[in-house]
Structure 1
């Protein structure tokens, strides 16, 4: 479906400086227009919000592999995932895929299929899908070929992860759930255990490899992030490599160090909805209250960005334009997407329509309908 020319009237519209009661929003050519044109759509009783930009989400995995070993054709899985994104008001979605020693759904072979699937599905979806590579830094054998692969997959955003259980490995103790993890990867548990020990033993090789990789990717214009920062000193090391995004910092000190140096901080919206981290890390609510958050991401649960933003506004912690900005304008800045995130002329026509119960009634990405439900569909269809 092509982008529509129309004017949404009668709704409460979230502008950059607050809510416009009973306003009008003109859409045409995929953008927000300065003057009313086209057919008028009466959205009285609804709220019109900027489209949600999800800057990190891996909830799409269940669409690609609904059960272990039951893999969908990648293109079909991506299209199914896009339907869930749209139903939750997400107009731009970053799909975060691992390349990890963990293997299975996080192995290099599966990742290649996912990134190729995203490329092939782009022409068939409305939501803007952006691939993100989550790279496990102790997979030393991958460094040599990774830059060329990232370019071929058209991945603009790479995040560095370290999920090795270093403390237990240093103590010679097997990590919990080792057998299950090995079987998921199709490995013998003892072989998996030896692999973990070998990677831990080679950990001194990793910093130099990271320095070289980060320099190459920065030169290529790839955006870089670190995951689960724990200390201010650790964040400074990442920053010196050109890694300017801190995803889900685990401590107040790490978040303060990131923002104090002008880096972006992304927090998990499920943390906000739950009222705290399920792992006992820093509370997103506390960090937001201290001004230490640039963007909220779905992480693993696509309904959470909308719910988190509305909770922040209803609680009085932030005015609605700032709360919703954490899932729209803020992520746009983090990702360098200057063409979206606000409902103002010249920006992309990325729009979410909420009903009186704050449920998503319609989603438009660049003026094209990606989701529509219930009474609002009758208003659009006339």
Structure 2
């Protein structure tokens, strides 16, 4: 940790739009009094560090190609560097726990969560593991709570990637062969696995009721993925699942808002102007006041870019809240997300003329520092 007074820049304070102000850091926290080491950041904008609520972009570092990465911990360390360069000071790493196997299977998930735990002391951004659980895995319901506790996972999202209509008719889903081979499984064996899971789907609802009650008792935050209907969102709410990740329809998003649930949308969706598969537009939900937080999903650079793009429509304060205090509050992280005395010194410095991220600090530690700006800190 280093101590400094950031001067000459505009600062996004909780009260509103960016204003000229001094921001002082000591002991990894934002402090009121100057510390006596001024760093001139003229021409820059100082923003709260980004809190990424859900991202799986780390996958390409952990397993870029079959056999290319034998130590997932080194992949996590590399991913942390990518987080920092993109202004992310707190990153939720979303890992599948799925019947699909391969890089989404339980065995690989165990390796990834072990790697995250081992890497955390080595990196500057704060890393938080998230488990994406496939609800058809009934045989795993009994052991899941203990695994979450052992892996120190505070956040679970429920997924369902079975093609129910086709499986109920005994038909193979599209792209089954490619998915099976990617997971290292014979396609026919893979198909039979899916049929067996589909046959037990009538048991899932009651099993979920019990599992969610157990996880709620452990203090685990829970989210649903890809909600489509009002009824579906209401069912999840009844189980205590209060975060709707990437709802696919306006109806589902409105149902979440009506019930007081949080809505998380993808920043790539904002930048694209719509979903890649025809779902509801994240930008439309934001401007309608139906989105509480943005997440990187699969592309870390999109978070900063999406917030800056939205700032032209809804103002910087409201736009940046979607990537800082908004997601921090959903995670229960009351020590970050705003640039106020006593909070963690999670800071992003933006060059106003170019919009480039030139410096990032997490808890007062240097996470990223651009060459030109580095000189200002060294000379101070």
Above 0.5 in TM-score? yes
Q: Which residue of structure 2 aligns with residue 166 of structure 1?
A: 164
Q: Which runs of structure 1 show a deviation greater than 2 angstroms over 4 or more consecutive aligned residues?
A: 17-22, 68-72
Count of aligned pairs between the two proteins: 378
Question: Among residues 90, 96, 100, which one is paired with 1:98 in the alignment?
Answer: 96
TM-superposed CA distance for 1:48, in Å, is 0.6
- Give a deviation string over 1:317-347, Cα, whole Å, max 9, x none: 2110100110001001111111110111111
Q: Please provide the CA RMSD for this pair.
A: 0.9
- CA deviation after TM superposition for structure 1 residue 70, in Å: 2.4
Unpaired runs of 5+ in structure 1? none
By how many angstroms is 1:169 displaced? 1.1
Q: List aligned pairs for 1:65-84, cutoff 5 A.
A: 65-84=63-82
CA deviation digits over 1:232-275, x for unaligned, max 9? 11000000001000000001111011111111100000000000
Specify the SS of the correspondent of 1:15: coil
1:240 aligns with 2:245: no
Q: How far, CA to CA, are the matches of 2:80 and 2:206 in structure 1? A: 38
CA contact (8 A) 1:135 1:159 kept: yes
Shift of 1:172: 2.2
Match of 2:144 among 139, 143, 146: 146
Deviations 1:347-367 (CA, angstroms, capped at 9, x unpaired): 110000111211110110011
TM-score normalised by structure 1 residue count: 0.97
Is the aligned partner of 1:53 residue 2:66? no
The aligned counterpart of 1:229 is: 227
Aligned to 1:209: 207
- 1:11-30 to structure 2, matched below 5 A, reads 11-30=9-28
1:269, 1:308 within 8 Å by CA — same for their partners in 2?
Answer: yes
Instruction: Determine if the alignment matches structure 1 residue 375 to structure 2 residue 342.
Output: no
Alignment of 1:348-359 (within 5 A): 348-355=344-351, 356-359=353-356
1:295-314 aligned within 5 A: 295-314=293-312
Report if the CA contact (8 A) 1:53-1:92 is conserved.
yes
The answer to whether the 8 A contact 2:63-2:72 is kept is no
1:20 offset after TM fit, Å? 4.1
Determine helix, strand or coil for the equivalent of 1:8. Answer: strand
Query: Where does 1:251-262 land on structure 2 (aligned, <5 Å)?
Result: 251-262=249-260
CA distance in structure 2 between the partners assigned to 1:11 and 1:322 by the alignment: 20
Q: Distance in 2 between matches of 1:22 and 1:48?
A: 10
Q: Give 1:110's aligned residue.
A: 108
Tell me the equivalent position of 1:189: 187
- Give the match's secondary structure for 1:77: helix
Match of 1:129 in 2: 127
CA contact (8 A) 2:6 2:24 kept: yes
Structure 1 position 75, deviation (Å): 1.5
Which segment is superposed worse, 166-175 or 52-61?
166-175
Shift of 1:36: 1.3
> Do structure 1's residue 88 and structure 2's residue 86 form an aligned pair?
yes
TM-score scaled to structure 2, two decimals?
A: 0.98
- For 2:71 and 2:36, locate their aligned partners in 1 and report how far apart those are by CA, in whole Å: 40
**How far apart in 2 are the matches of 1:30 and 1:277?**
39
